[in-house]
Structure 1
Amino acid sequence: MSQSIFFAHANGFPSATYGKLFAALAPDYQVQHLEQHGHDPRFPVDDNWNNLVDELILHLERGAEPVWGVGHSLGGVLHYHAALRRPELYRGVALLDSPLLTGVDRMVIRAAKRFGFIDRITPAGRTIGRREAFADLAEARDYFAGKSLFSRFDPDCLDAYVQHGLRSEGQGLRLRFDPATEIDIYRSVPHISPGRPQQLQVPLAVIRGRHSRVVLPHHARLVSRAPKGEYLTLPGGHMFPLERPQDTAQLLKALFGRWQGRHQEHSA
């Protein structure tokens, strides 16, 4: 019988972009997800992402059993905060290039919000004014393929982003993920947390892209403070789940299998 993963995507990348990763996790794991975080008017983006965590918890509560929480970037932080608040909803949590922030990190973010330079330390500044509209899928694919963020994407993942990241509007196409919402999410990045790593009651893994500039080596020591914390790496950068979806799935399967084995040993 397959177990359930609840996947949460990175900011700006609808869940369907990760279809190749989901397919590689089947049939061992059934992947659930929201189409897009931050777009439900009941849960508008607020500072420190509290409403986005509430939105995630609402959907987790509808499940029949605890899940493996897997999140990329934004999505990993949401799962981490949700697991601190509601550990009974989880079997364990895997963060795909999502940092656990140190005290210094949080102080810098708080100051950046207060003094107006948050757009310089998050991708918000690069998102402002970004192209939103395209004539057709071919034009959109050529555009994104030429951007450094997408340059190492698995071709199927790039195709999935172009297919699912755009919607029809008039005679052309427009980004499905609302750019204003994407910017709001970056600007409200949490500088507080509902708990500390040592308070986390479920297994935790932070999986870093080897060339990531988001999760840095100094974040590893926070992971080690979690009672069941692991710090792992995969080749690639911040977008490694979309650069190497099959390698990511293989690592997750091995990780969850190991955690499940330990749980059964302790329960015996």
Structure 2
Amino acid sequence: MPLDASQTLGVEVPIPPYLLLPLLKSPLHGDANASPSIPTPPITTTYKEWTRTTHFLPAAFPRAHTLCVAPALTRPTLPTSKEHERRLRKEEFGRWKDHWKGFSAQDYFPARSEREADETAQRLAQEQQSTPLWNVVQRWCRRGCEVPENGLILIAAHANGMHKETFEPCLEALIHHSSTPIAEIWSLDTIDSGFSGVVNEGKLGPSASWCDQARDLLNLIHHLPEPGQAAPDVLRWKERGGFAGTRPIVGIGHSYSGSAVLRLASAVPTALDGIIFIDPVLLRPEVLSKRPKPEFNARAQGTVARRDVFSDRQEAMRYFQSRPFFSKWHPRALQAMVEHGLVPLDPISAPQGAVRLAMHRAREAAVFGQSWQSTLSYASGLIKRHTCKFHAVLMGNSDLITDGFADITFVEDIKDWGGTSHIMPGNHLVVQEQPDKLGEHLATVLDAWYAHRPSFEARL
């Protein structure tokens, strides 16, 4: 059913659309006792000569809208009957609609000047002193091997509703096929997904600002340790990014995070040396006015109503395997979802009992509902402030195309930016469904860019 004017945004993309709020000092910085409250110890795994370790860092501060951190979302409840489940869903949907009363798209527009950005950040910082957030990241570091002198750093960022561990099979395939000297790989959970969703529970509000993912990526760059050197569990801020200046950084952004890496490259042109989009969520600026308000976004509405609690992990696995959405996933990606995308419903009194999705469904719905903000990323890209390399992997059967997101016009824009593109058979969730093929393709892109170059220019 077509939306009427009252259900659409009815606004145009502002100019300039690329400014990000500055990163201010988080209340968690400088506190020697600051560490996230976690129900399980950090995870360490290995792959060939690589060791994967878990680290924490204070997330970008402040968040771009106070509703991103307050009021806190309620913890899900295990239903006792079908009727109870229906009632819980109705209550959740009611809260969802109430959250968007008084919504204004302009409240999420970027600042019009650096002065305005500074003033806005200072005001928000005062409002959010009690709700600083954490990011949880995974570091891939070579063990027992010398770090390549000019090896690059990869930063992988996942799609909405996913988490960093579902990227592992794809990154392993990339390593296996690549001839490019890679110093380290970093993969991060968004502030509300995976392990981040656990440590930030009680501090996550009902809304989402897409620019904050770009700020979290920039914030991570400023916390990167020297490749190959030991790093503490809680990473430390470093003014110049914390890495040797001759090491380029390549951002790999899937879906929602594809929008984030473009926004980052436009706001801070020196941050990234290259970007690889994986079926990015990018709406052309001219369609903004006709996009639905968050509460009328069909994807968001479906997410609010989804099942998010299970009696145990075994039941969750059976449920996932029975759903078309998950049935196409690579077995390892699905196993990662069950192991890391689910957490105990009550980690203190019943750690082995019922489980819930680590990402609160209201947060996942908020990201979908705010997908109109991808027009700001696209518009910032069209200004061409960025200086990095570009490659886009677009999926031939992606449902994004029918929903008005990146299409053939994006291929032309990438070409205009001096980049390349590749249309790959398959669906939008290619990271989870075809990790081997995707990883092999990403390796060819990196090899074309870097494998035969003896040195790199300083970026920061």
Q: Which category of TM-score, normalised to the shorter sequence, fits these structures?
A: 0.7 to 0.9
1:153 to partner: Cα distance:
0.9
8 Å CA contact 2:190, 2:213 repeated in 1: no
Residue 236 of structure 1 is matched in structure 2 by 426
Q: How far apart are the structure 2 equivalents of 1:45 and 1:25? A: 36
Closer/same/farther in 2, CA of residues 45 and 255 from structure 1, 3 Å limit: farther
Matched, 1:6 2:164: no
Q: Give per-residue Cα distances to partners, 1:108-153, cap 9 Å, x unaligned.
A: 33xx228x53x12xx2121012111111222111111222222211
2:376 aligned with 1:192, yes or no? Answer: yes
The answer to whether structure 1 residue 259 and structure 2 residue 449 are counterparts is yes
Task: Give the C-alpha shift of residue 157 in structure 1.
Answer: 0.9
Residues 24-82 of structure 1: CA distance to partner in whole angstroms, max 9, x if unpaired?
A: 23375432022334456999786651222212211122231431100110111111111
Question: Which secondary structure state, in structure 1, belongs to the residue aligned with residue 380 of structure 2?
Answer: coil
**1:12–1:99 distance in 2 versus 1, CA, 3 Å:** closer
Which residue is equivalent to 1:209? Answer: 395
Q: What's 1:221 paired with?
A: 412
Q: Which runs of 4+ in 1 moved over 6 A?
A: 41-45, 262-267
Aligned-partner SS, 2:185? strand
> Structure 1 residues 266 and 133 mapped into 2: Cα distance closer, same or farther (>3 Å)?
closer
**Structure 1 residues 182-218: Cα deviation after superposition (integer angstroms, max 9, x where no partner):** 1111122213237234332101112111211214334
**C-alpha RMSD of matched pairs (Å):** 2.7
Percentage of identical aligned residues: 22
> 2:218 is matched with which residue: 19, 38, 57?
57
Do the aligned partners of residues 45 and 257 (structure 1) sit closer, same or farther apart at CA in structure 2, a change above 3 Å counting? farther
Residue 230 of structure 2: aligned partner: none
Q: How do residues 144-159 of structure 1 correspond to structure 2 at under 5 angstroms?
A: 144-159=320-335
Superposition pairs of residues 13-52 of structure 1, within 5 angstroms: 13-26=162-175, 29=182, 30-38=184-192, 39=197, 49-52=210-213
Aligned to 2:285: 103
Counterpart residue type for residue 126 of structure 1: G
Equivalent position SS for 2:399: coil
- TM-score normalised by length of structure 2: 0.52
- Distance, in Å, in 2 between the alignment partners of 1:159 and 1:127 is 21
What secondary structure sits across from 2:355 in the alignment?
Answer: strand
Alpha-carbon distance change, 95 to 43 in structure 1, aligned in 2, over 3 angstroms: farther
Q: Alignment partner of 1:26: what SS? A: helix
Hey, what's the Cα distance between the residues in 2 that align with 1:45 and 1:257?
Answer: 42
Is the CA contact (8 Å cut-off) linking 1:45 and 1:52 kept in structure 2? no
1:86 alignment partner AA: V
Paired residue secondary structure (1:204): strand
How far off its partner does 1:85 sit? 1.2
Larger deviation: 255-264 or 66-75?
Answer: 255-264
1:177 aligns with 359
Q: Is 1:47–1:188's contact at 8 Å kept on the other side of the alignment?
A: yes
8 A contact 1:223–1:230 mirrored in 2 = yes
1:113 equivalenced with 2:293 (yes/no)? yes
Q: What is the letter of the counterpart of residue 221 of structure 1? A: E
Counterpart CA distance in 2 for 1:52 and 1:6 is 13
Give me the whole-angstrom Cα distance separating, in 2, the residues matched to 1:14 and 1:255. Answer: 24
Name the counterpart of 2:435.
245
Describe the shift of the 1:70–1:45 C-alpha distance in structure 2 as closer, same or farther (beyond 3 A).
farther
SS in 2 for 1:157: helix
Task: State the alpha-carbon separation in 2 of the partners of residues 253 and 234 from structure 1.
Answer: 15
Judged with a 3 Å threshold, the aligned counterparts in structure 2 of structure 1 residues 137 and 33 are, in CA distance, closer, same or farther, namely same
Stretch moving more, 188-197 or 132-141: 188-197
Gaps of 5+ in 1: none
As a proportion of its length, which structure holds more helix?
Answer: 1
User: Which structure: larger Rg?
Assistant: 2
Aligned length: 260
Superposed displacement of residue 261, structure 1: 5.7
Q: In structure 2, the residue corresponding to 1:93 is in which secondary structure? A: strand
SS class of match (2:414): helix
Letter in 2 for 1:104: E
Contact 2:330 2:433 (8 Å CA) reproduced: yes
State the one-letter code of the partner of 1:200. Answer: H
The answer to which of 2-11 and 28-37 deviates more is: 28-37
